[in-house]
Structure 1
Amino acid sequence: MTRIRLDSDALVFVGDGEKALFLRNKGDWLYPNLVVENVLEQDNPASREQGSDQPGRMNRGRPSSNKSAIEATDWHQIAKDRFAREVADALYKAAHRQGYQHLVVVAPPTTLGELRKAFHKEVSERVVAEVDKTLTSHPVYEIERILSAFA
Protein backbone atom coordinates (compact mmCIF):
# COMPACT_ATOMS: atom_id res chain seq x y z
CA MET A 1 0.00 0.00 0.00
CA THR A 2 1.29 3.43 -0.97
CA ARG A 3 1.79 5.88 1.87
CA ILE A 4 0.23 9.31 1.41
CA ARG A 5 1.13 12.35 3.45
CA LEU A 6 -1.70 14.73 2.66
CA ASP A 7 -0.24 18.04 3.81
CA SER A 8 -2.33 21.07 4.59
CA ASP A 9 -3.22 23.05 1.44
CA ALA A 10 -2.34 20.09 -0.82
CA LEU A 11 -4.42 19.77 -3.97
CA VAL A 12 -6.17 16.44 -4.48
CA PHE A 13 -7.29 15.56 -7.99
CA VAL A 14 -9.93 12.83 -8.16
CA GLY A 15 -10.95 11.97 -11.69
CA ASP A 16 -11.78 9.54 -14.40
CA GLY A 17 -12.31 10.11 -18.09
CA GLU A 18 -15.57 11.96 -17.57
CA LYS A 19 -15.43 13.79 -14.24
CA ALA A 20 -12.72 15.70 -12.40
CA LEU A 21 -12.84 16.90 -8.80
CA PHE A 22 -10.27 19.37 -7.55
CA LEU A 23 -10.17 19.23 -3.76
CA ARG A 24 -8.06 21.28 -1.34
CA ASN A 25 -6.98 19.88 2.02
CA LYS A 26 -7.94 22.51 4.60
CA GLY A 27 -7.02 20.12 7.42
CA ASP A 28 -3.65 18.51 8.08
CA TRP A 29 -2.08 15.19 7.15
CA LEU A 30 -3.57 13.42 10.17
CA TYR A 31 -7.08 14.86 9.87
CA PRO A 32 -7.73 15.85 6.28
CA ASN A 33 -10.61 18.18 5.50
CA LEU A 34 -11.12 18.14 1.74
CA VAL A 35 -13.02 21.06 0.26
CA VAL A 36 -14.25 21.10 -3.34
CA GLU A 37 -12.59 23.88 -5.35
CA ASN A 38 -13.74 22.91 -8.83
CA VAL A 39 -15.63 20.20 -10.70
CA LEU A 40 -15.28 19.49 -14.41
CA GLU A 41 -17.58 17.10 -16.23
CA GLN A 42 -18.01 16.08 -19.81
CA ASP A 43 -20.88 14.35 -21.50
CA ASN A 44 -19.35 11.20 -22.96
CA PRO A 45 -21.93 8.75 -24.33
CA ALA A 46 -20.97 5.23 -25.33
CA SER A 47 -19.12 4.80 -28.64
CA ARG A 48 -22.18 3.21 -30.26
CA GLU A 49 -24.01 6.50 -29.66
CA GLN A 50 -21.19 8.67 -30.99
CA GLY A 51 -20.46 6.98 -34.29
CA SER A 52 -22.69 5.19 -36.74
CA ASP A 53 -20.21 3.85 -39.26
CA GLN A 54 -19.46 0.17 -39.43
CA PRO A 55 -15.80 -0.78 -39.12
CA GLY A 56 -14.06 -0.72 -42.48
CA ARG A 57 -12.35 -3.54 -44.34
CA MET A 58 -8.97 -3.42 -45.95
CA ASN A 59 -7.38 -5.29 -48.82
CA ARG A 60 -3.72 -5.94 -48.04
CA GLY A 61 -2.51 -4.64 -51.38
CA ARG A 62 -3.05 -7.80 -53.40
CA PRO A 63 -6.07 -8.38 -55.58
CA SER A 64 -8.06 -10.86 -53.57
CA SER A 65 -11.46 -11.37 -52.10
CA ASN A 66 -9.87 -11.77 -48.65
CA LYS A 67 -10.15 -8.56 -46.71
CA SER A 68 -9.14 -7.76 -43.16
CA ALA A 69 -11.45 -5.98 -40.77
CA ILE A 70 -10.33 -2.67 -39.36
CA GLU A 71 -11.05 -2.20 -35.68
CA ALA A 72 -13.87 0.20 -34.90
CA THR A 73 -12.93 3.59 -33.49
CA ASP A 74 -13.60 3.82 -29.77
CA TRP A 75 -14.97 7.37 -29.61
CA HIS A 76 -15.76 6.97 -25.93
CA GLN A 77 -12.10 6.23 -25.07
CA ILE A 78 -10.85 9.02 -27.34
CA ALA A 79 -13.07 11.48 -25.43
CA LYS A 80 -11.76 10.16 -22.10
CA ASP A 81 -8.15 10.60 -23.25
CA ARG A 82 -8.90 14.11 -24.50
CA PHE A 83 -10.51 14.97 -21.15
CA ALA A 84 -7.39 13.70 -19.32
CA ARG A 85 -5.24 16.04 -21.46
CA GLU A 86 -7.57 18.95 -20.65
CA VAL A 87 -7.25 18.18 -16.93
CA ALA A 88 -3.47 17.97 -17.25
CA ASP A 89 -3.50 21.38 -18.94
CA ALA A 90 -5.63 22.86 -16.12
CA LEU A 91 -3.21 21.43 -13.54
CA TYR A 92 -0.27 22.91 -15.47
CA LYS A 93 -1.88 26.37 -15.48
CA ALA A 94 -2.55 26.13 -11.74
CA ALA A 95 1.03 24.98 -11.06
CA HIS A 96 2.41 27.78 -13.22
CA ARG A 97 0.59 30.40 -11.15
CA GLN A 98 1.72 28.67 -7.92
CA GLY A 99 -1.79 27.41 -7.14
CA TYR A 100 -0.45 24.36 -5.30
CA GLN A 101 2.83 22.84 -4.13
CA HIS A 102 1.71 19.25 -3.48
CA LEU A 103 -0.62 17.19 -5.65
CA VAL A 104 -2.26 13.85 -4.94
CA VAL A 105 -3.71 12.18 -8.05
CA VAL A 106 -6.54 9.66 -7.68
CA ALA A 107 -7.72 8.03 -10.91
CA PRO A 108 -8.33 4.61 -12.46
CA PRO A 109 -5.24 3.04 -14.07
CA THR A 110 -6.08 3.97 -17.68
CA THR A 111 -6.76 7.60 -16.82
CA LEU A 112 -3.70 7.70 -14.57
CA GLY A 113 -1.57 6.55 -17.51
CA GLU A 114 -3.02 9.22 -19.81
CA LEU A 115 -2.45 11.87 -17.16
CA ARG A 116 1.18 10.83 -16.63
CA LYS A 117 1.80 11.16 -20.37
CA ALA A 118 0.12 14.58 -20.49
CA PHE A 119 1.58 16.09 -17.30
CA HIS A 120 4.04 18.92 -17.81
CA LYS A 121 7.25 18.78 -15.81
CA GLU A 122 5.93 21.47 -13.43
CA VAL A 123 2.98 19.23 -12.55
CA SER A 124 4.96 15.98 -12.31
CA GLU A 125 7.38 17.58 -9.86
CA ARG A 126 4.49 18.42 -7.52
CA VAL A 127 2.90 14.93 -7.50
CA VAL A 128 3.47 13.47 -4.05
CA ALA A 129 1.21 10.41 -4.41
CA GLU A 130 -0.87 8.50 -6.93
CA VAL A 131 -3.80 6.25 -6.07
CA ASP A 132 -5.21 4.02 -8.81
CA LYS A 133 -8.86 3.98 -7.78
CA THR A 134 -12.10 5.28 -9.22
CA LEU A 135 -13.56 7.59 -6.57
CA THR A 136 -15.43 10.20 -8.60
CA SER A 137 -18.85 8.90 -7.53
CA HIS A 138 -17.92 8.90 -3.82
CA PRO A 139 -18.91 11.75 -1.51
CA VAL A 140 -16.03 13.92 -0.26
CA TYR A 141 -16.15 12.52 3.28
CA GLU A 142 -15.70 9.01 1.84
CA ILE A 143 -12.72 10.17 -0.26
CA GLU A 144 -11.20 11.62 2.93
CA ARG A 145 -11.69 8.30 4.72
CA ILE A 146 -10.18 6.28 1.88
CA LEU A 147 -7.15 8.57 1.55
CA SER A 148 -6.67 8.61 5.35
CA ALA A 149 -6.32 4.82 5.22
CA PHE A 150 -3.15 5.37 3.16
CA ALA A 151 -1.61 7.74 5.76
Structure 2
Amino acid sequence: MKLPHNAHVALVDGTTFVVMRNKGKPFEPELETVAKPDLEATNFSAGVRHQDPTSQMPGRNDLNELAHGAAAAEWLNAKAIADEIEAVLVIADPKTLGEMRHHYHGELEKRLVGEIPKTMTGETSADIAQAIAAA
Protein backbone atom coordinates (compact mmCIF):
# COMPACT_ATOMS: atom_id res chain seq x y z
CA MET A 1 0.00 0.00 0.00
CA LYS A 2 1.19 3.47 -0.81
CA LEU A 3 1.24 5.63 2.32
CA PRO A 4 1.99 9.28 1.57
CA HIS A 5 4.86 10.99 3.36
CA ASN A 6 3.57 12.61 6.58
CA ALA A 7 0.31 10.64 6.44
CA HIS A 8 -1.11 9.69 9.80
CA VAL A 9 -1.73 6.11 10.87
CA ALA A 10 -4.41 5.47 13.48
CA LEU A 11 -3.94 2.20 15.37
CA VAL A 12 -7.11 1.29 17.23
CA ASP A 13 -8.56 -1.59 19.16
CA GLY A 14 -11.18 -1.79 21.88
CA THR A 15 -8.92 -0.17 24.50
CA THR A 16 -5.92 1.39 22.73
CA PHE A 17 -5.54 4.35 20.36
CA VAL A 18 -2.16 5.37 18.97
CA VAL A 19 -1.51 7.92 16.23
CA MET A 20 1.65 7.60 14.17
CA ARG A 21 3.05 9.51 11.20
CA ASN A 22 4.93 8.26 8.15
CA LYS A 23 8.33 9.91 8.01
CA GLY A 24 9.47 7.61 5.23
CA LYS A 25 8.72 7.16 1.57
CA PRO A 26 5.29 6.17 0.23
CA PHE A 27 6.30 2.53 -0.43
CA GLU A 28 8.83 2.36 2.42
CA PRO A 29 7.03 3.77 5.46
CA GLU A 30 8.92 4.71 8.62
CA LEU A 31 6.55 5.35 11.48
CA GLU A 32 6.93 7.54 14.52
CA THR A 33 4.41 7.87 17.33
CA VAL A 34 2.92 11.36 17.53
CA ALA A 35 0.04 10.91 19.99
CA LYS A 36 -1.65 8.51 22.37
CA PRO A 37 -4.93 10.36 22.92
CA ASP A 38 -6.76 9.70 26.17
CA LEU A 39 -10.29 9.11 24.97
CA GLU A 40 -13.48 9.33 26.95
CA ALA A 41 -15.86 6.69 25.65
CA THR A 42 -19.26 8.36 25.83
CA ASN A 43 -20.95 7.23 22.61
CA PHE A 44 -22.69 3.92 23.32
CA SER A 45 -24.91 4.09 20.24
CA ALA A 46 -23.68 0.63 19.21
CA GLY A 47 -25.95 -0.81 21.90
CA VAL A 48 -28.93 -0.04 19.70
CA ARG A 49 -27.58 -2.35 17.00
CA HIS A 50 -26.79 -5.21 19.36
CA GLN A 51 -30.13 -6.12 20.89
CA ASP A 52 -30.58 -9.51 19.21
CA PRO A 53 -29.92 -12.70 21.25
CA THR A 54 -26.74 -13.58 19.31
CA SER A 55 -25.15 -10.19 20.04
CA GLN A 56 -25.98 -10.53 23.72
CA MET A 57 -23.94 -13.73 24.10
CA PRO A 58 -20.86 -13.31 26.31
CA GLY A 59 -17.79 -12.35 24.32
CA ARG A 60 -19.70 -11.26 21.22
CA ASN A 61 -19.82 -7.48 21.70
CA ASP A 62 -18.38 -5.37 24.45
CA LEU A 63 -20.15 -2.01 24.33
CA ASN A 64 -17.21 -0.33 26.09
CA GLU A 65 -14.87 -1.49 23.33
CA LEU A 66 -17.25 -0.32 20.63
CA ALA A 67 -17.64 3.04 22.39
CA HIS A 68 -13.84 3.36 22.39
CA GLY A 69 -13.84 2.84 18.61
CA ALA A 70 -16.53 5.51 18.26
CA ALA A 71 -14.45 7.90 20.38
CA ALA A 72 -11.39 7.27 18.21
CA ALA A 73 -13.42 8.05 15.09
CA GLU A 74 -14.72 11.24 16.71
CA TRP A 75 -11.15 12.29 17.58
CA LEU A 76 -10.07 11.69 13.97
CA ASN A 77 -13.16 13.57 12.73
CA ALA A 78 -12.21 16.60 14.81
CA LYS A 79 -8.65 16.58 13.45
CA ALA A 80 -9.89 16.26 9.86
CA ILE A 81 -12.43 19.07 10.27
CA ALA A 82 -9.75 21.29 11.84
CA ASP A 83 -7.48 20.48 8.86
CA GLU A 84 -4.82 19.02 11.18
CA ILE A 85 -4.51 15.81 9.17
CA GLU A 86 -4.30 15.54 5.39
CA ALA A 87 -4.18 11.79 4.93
CA VAL A 88 -4.92 8.97 7.35
CA LEU A 89 -4.73 5.20 7.32
CA VAL A 90 -6.83 3.36 9.91
CA ILE A 91 -5.58 0.03 11.23
CA ALA A 92 -8.05 -1.59 13.61
CA ASP A 93 -9.40 -4.98 14.54
CA PRO A 94 -12.40 -5.81 12.35
CA LYS A 95 -15.03 -5.23 15.07
CA THR A 96 -13.62 -1.83 16.05
CA LEU A 97 -13.13 -0.82 12.41
CA GLY A 98 -16.75 -1.67 11.67
CA GLU A 99 -17.91 0.52 14.54
CA MET A 100 -15.62 3.37 13.52
CA ARG A 101 -17.09 3.40 10.01
CA HIS A 102 -20.49 4.25 11.50
CA HIS A 103 -18.98 7.45 12.92
CA TYR A 104 -16.76 8.72 10.08
CA HIS A 105 -17.49 12.33 9.16
CA GLY A 106 -17.47 13.20 5.45
CA GLU A 107 -14.33 15.28 5.93
CA LEU A 108 -12.51 12.30 7.44
CA GLU A 109 -13.71 10.03 4.64
CA LYS A 110 -12.14 12.41 2.09
CA ARG A 111 -8.80 12.04 3.86
CA LEU A 112 -8.79 8.25 4.27
CA VAL A 113 -6.05 6.63 2.23
CA GLY A 114 -7.02 3.16 3.40
CA GLU A 115 -8.06 0.78 6.13
CA ILE A 116 -6.46 -2.41 7.33
CA PRO A 117 -8.76 -4.71 9.36
CA LYS A 118 -6.12 -6.20 11.65
CA THR A 119 -5.14 -5.94 15.31
CA MET A 120 -1.70 -4.33 15.41
CA THR A 121 -1.75 -2.18 18.55
CA GLY A 122 0.81 -4.40 20.29
CA GLU A 123 3.22 -4.57 17.36
CA THR A 124 6.46 -2.67 16.82
CA SER A 125 6.51 0.26 14.41
CA ALA A 126 8.71 -1.78 12.05
CA ASP A 127 6.14 -4.61 11.98
CA ILE A 128 3.34 -2.11 11.37
CA ALA A 129 5.31 -0.46 8.55
CA GLN A 130 5.92 -3.88 7.00
CA ALA A 131 2.19 -4.71 7.17
CA ILE A 132 1.36 -1.38 5.49
CA ALA A 133 3.88 -1.95 2.72
CA ALA A 134 2.49 -5.44 2.13
CA ALA A 135 -1.16 -4.34 2.07
Same fold (TM over 0.5): yes
CA offset at residue 148 of structure 1? Answer: 1.4
CA offset at residue 40 of structure 1? Answer: 3.9
TM-score, normalised by the number of residues in structure 2: 0.80
Query: Which consecutive residues of structure 2, in runs of 5 or more, have no partner in the other structure?
Result: 40-55
Corresponding residue of 2:21: 24
One of 5, 8, 12 as aligned partner of 1:11: 8
**Counterparts in 2 of 1:41 and 1:16: CA distance versus 1, 3 Å:** farther
Q: Match of 1:125, SS?
A: helix
Query: Which consecutive residues of structure 1, in runs of 5 or more, have no partner in the other structure?
Result: 43-70
Q: Match of 2:90, SS?
A: strand
Q: Match of 1:24, SS?
A: strand
**Counterparts in 2 of 1:72 and 1:41: CA distance versus 1, 3 Å:** farther
Paired residues in the alignment total: 119
Structure 2 residue 111 is the aligned partner of structure 1 residue 126: yes
TM-score, normalised by the number of residues in structure 1: 0.72
One of 89, 98, 102 as aligned partner of 2:83: 98
> Deviation string for 1:87-137 (max 9, x for gaps)?
111101111121111111111111111000011111111111111110001
Identity of aligned residues (%): 27
- For the 8 Å contact 1:95–1:122, the answer to whether it is kept is yes
- For the 8 Å contact 1:32–1:148, the answer to whether it is kept is yes
Moved over 4 A (4+): 71-74
**Counterparts in 2 of 1:29 and 1:122: CA distance versus 1, 3 Å:** same
CA offset at residue 73 of structure 1? Answer: 7.9
> Deviation string for 1:15-52 (max 9, x for gaps)?
1111011011111212211110112467xxxxxxxxxx
For 1:41 and 1:132, the matched residues in 2 are separated by: 22
